[in-house]
């Protein structure tokens, strides 16, 4: 992965050699000394060539600056300019009367604006400015807005926790064997049963999970379930006091607007219960990230400029009502730290996945029943393909939605519902933006000609079950064959094609 692509802030690692954050303080610029020339003006001061009454200064000729007084200028007559400073005495006109007159004039103007309808002030504390050539805009004035961040933080902080994990690296998937390291992330309390929503990559391969609440109380937590492809997981506190838990209020991420105020809450760099504010920078951002456990699909994400750093993963993105609207998950940065481009999984999607996990169900996603490869200019030329971008169909799952619709091996999918598809990941993301049961129209290039095929999206529950069986199989010959096991393992690991 290149350093300028979106990446998951995986949290802090206690392993030796981990890079530590740096803090830089820029020096305050020195104030330049004022130039001693006529007419120079500095902030708050004006410098002029001024002489006491009766004292003369040498002037200037058209040839340039005049030498000191008494020096001759060849070929030019000396010009002498006399400046006299006259001190005047300020009349003591009553300031009160002048201020009163100004207030009276201002009041008359406001009354005139109200009577003409140019300024409409209602009783609810809002001001409506109108313009004959444009629509009206209502601006609500609320004195509490001056402490908005404090109010929202006070409401939401008790619902956000810090998560630390121990990772048993003896697992072949975890890295070097025999060592143990810890990661730090964040999570959000969903209910008084102690269920906490977080990112999958926060607790991935964890052998032990500890959770610290806002009041400093620590609990052990157990894993309830995960949805790796969505990078979401649910953990549950062990023997937690339900009266000490504050479930977060859940908002509606479908009603967000660009420019809306938001606050990110979490444990950046291990600094627990930290808040940062910003706005919704954009909506419907999507990407796919590869990891050792497969491909994570981030669809319709919320982009924000609120600072999100390693350790914020799994934490809350809340609105100005303190309601949860997203789970902070991804940053886009050259350095791996905040660059003002962070992304959160919308709460409507995340909460739906969490509810399925808590209910003991396997989270399901829309499914085409295809194994795909990205088409690019190189493989298009090598294989004499009709197009140089799109998603090439390697295999069609028997009985799946695509086979039922008529998709064939060798087809190249170039659009979904009219939106261009340039890669296999692009098609997976586009499908994930829909729901199980939705009908979509695929634009397919077959034998050099283009056609449109309607497909009703199915559920990937069966595929997930097969992949789980494959990863849990043994070498005794039971379950899938070795060939099938390797095929599903490659698909799970993001090699040799991506499943949709």
Mention every residue, 6+ apart, whose C-beta is less than 8 A from residue 317: 262, 263, 264, 265, 302, 304, 306, 324, 325, 326, 327, 328, 344
Catalytic residue among 276, 313, 333, 423: 313
Q: Which of 10, 181, 186, 201 is catalytic?
A: 201
* Nearest-angstrom CA–CA distance, 435 and 10: 29
Could you tell me which of 316, 313, 336 has the C-alpha nearest to residue 325? 316
Q: Is 120 a catalytic residue?
A: no
Residue among 10, 231, 305, 411 flagged as catalytic: 231
Task: Specify whether 231 is catalytic.
Answer: yes
Q: What is the DSSP string of 280-316?
A: EEEEEEEEEEEETTEEEEEEEEEEE-S---TT-TT-E
Per-residue DSSP letter, 482: H
Closest to 464 measured CA to CA, from 290, 329, 294: 294
Q: How far apart are CA 92 and CA 102, in angstroms?
A: 18
Spatial separation of the C-alpha atoms in residues 438 and 421, rounded to whole Å:
18
Look at residue 319 and give its three-state secondary structure. Answer: coil
How many C-beta atoms lie closer than 10 Å to residue 16's C-beta? 6
Alpha helices in 157-262 (DSSP H): 200-203
**How does DSSP classify residue 157?**
G
Whats the size of the chain, residue-wise?
500
Beta carbons of 282 and 303 less than 8 angstroms apart:
yes
- For residue 415, give the 3-state DSSP assignment: strand
Burial of 421 (0-12, 13-18, 19+ CB in 10 A): buried
Q: How many of the other CB atoms lie within 10 Å of CB of 313?
A: 31
**Known catalytic residue at 305:** no
Q: Which positions are annotated as active-site residues?
A: 201, 231, 313
């Amino acid at each position: 992965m290149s350093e300028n692509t979106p990446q998951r802030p995986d949290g802090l690692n206690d392993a030796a050699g981990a890079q530590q954050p740096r803090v830089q303080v820029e020096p305050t610029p020195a104030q330049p000394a004022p130039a001693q020339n006529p007419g120079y003006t500095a902030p708050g001061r004006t410098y002029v060539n001024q002489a006491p009454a009766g004292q003369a200064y040498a002037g200037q000729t058209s040839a340039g600056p005049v030498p000191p007084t008494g020096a001759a200028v060849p070929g030019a007559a000396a010009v002498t300019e006399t400046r006299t400073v006259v001190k005047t005495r300020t009349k003591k006109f009553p300031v009160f009367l002048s201020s009163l007159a100004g207030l009276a004039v201002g009041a008359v103007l406001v009354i005139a604006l109200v009577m003409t309808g140019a300024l409409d002030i209602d009783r609810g504390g809002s001001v409506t400015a109108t313009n004959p050539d444009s629509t009206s805009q209502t601006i609500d004035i609320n004195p509490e807005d001056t402490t908005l961040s404090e109010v929202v933080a006070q409401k939401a902080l008790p619902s956000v926790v810090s998560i630390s994990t121990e990772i048993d690296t003896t697992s072949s998937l975890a890295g070097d064997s025999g060592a143990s390291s810890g990661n730090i992330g964040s999570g959000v309390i969903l209910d008084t049963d102690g269920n906490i929503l977080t990112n999958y990559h926060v607790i991935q391969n964890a052998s032990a999970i500890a959770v610290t609440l806002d009041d400093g109380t620590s609990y052990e937590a157990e894993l309830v379930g995960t949805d790796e492809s969505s990078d979401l997981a649910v953990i549950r506190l062990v023997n937690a006091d339900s009266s000490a838990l504050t479930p977060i209020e859940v908002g509606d991420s479908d009603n967000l607007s660009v420019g809306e105020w938001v606050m990110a809450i979490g444990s950046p760099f291990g600094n627990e219960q930290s808040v940062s504010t910003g706005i919704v920078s954009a909506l419907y951002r999507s990407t796919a990230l590869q990891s050792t456990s497969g491909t994570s699909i981030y669809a319709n994400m919320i982009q924000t400029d609120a600072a999100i750093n390693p350790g914020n993963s799994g934490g809350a993105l809340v609105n100005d009502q303190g309601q949860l609207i997203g789970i902070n998950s991804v940053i886009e940065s050259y350095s791996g730290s905040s660059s003002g481009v962070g992304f959160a999984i919308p709460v409507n999607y995340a909460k739906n996945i969490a509810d399925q996990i808590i209910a003991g169900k396997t989270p399901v996603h829309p499914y085409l029943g295809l194994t795909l490869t990205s088409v690019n200019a190189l493989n298009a030329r090598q294989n004499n393909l009709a197009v140089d971008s799109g998603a090439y169909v390697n295999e069609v799952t028997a009985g799946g939605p695509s086979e039922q619709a008529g998709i064939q091996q060798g087809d190249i999918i170039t659009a979904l519902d009219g939106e261009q598809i340039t890669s296999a990941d692009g098609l997976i993301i586009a499908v994930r933006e829909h729901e199980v049961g939705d009908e979509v129209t695929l634009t397919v290039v077959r034998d050099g000609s283009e056609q449109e095929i309607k497909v009703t999206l199915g559920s990937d529950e069966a595929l997930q079950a097969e992949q789980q069986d494959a990863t849990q199989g043994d070498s005794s010959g039971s379950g899938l064959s070795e060939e099938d096991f390797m095929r599903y393992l490659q698909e799970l690991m993001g090699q040799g094609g991506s499943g949709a």
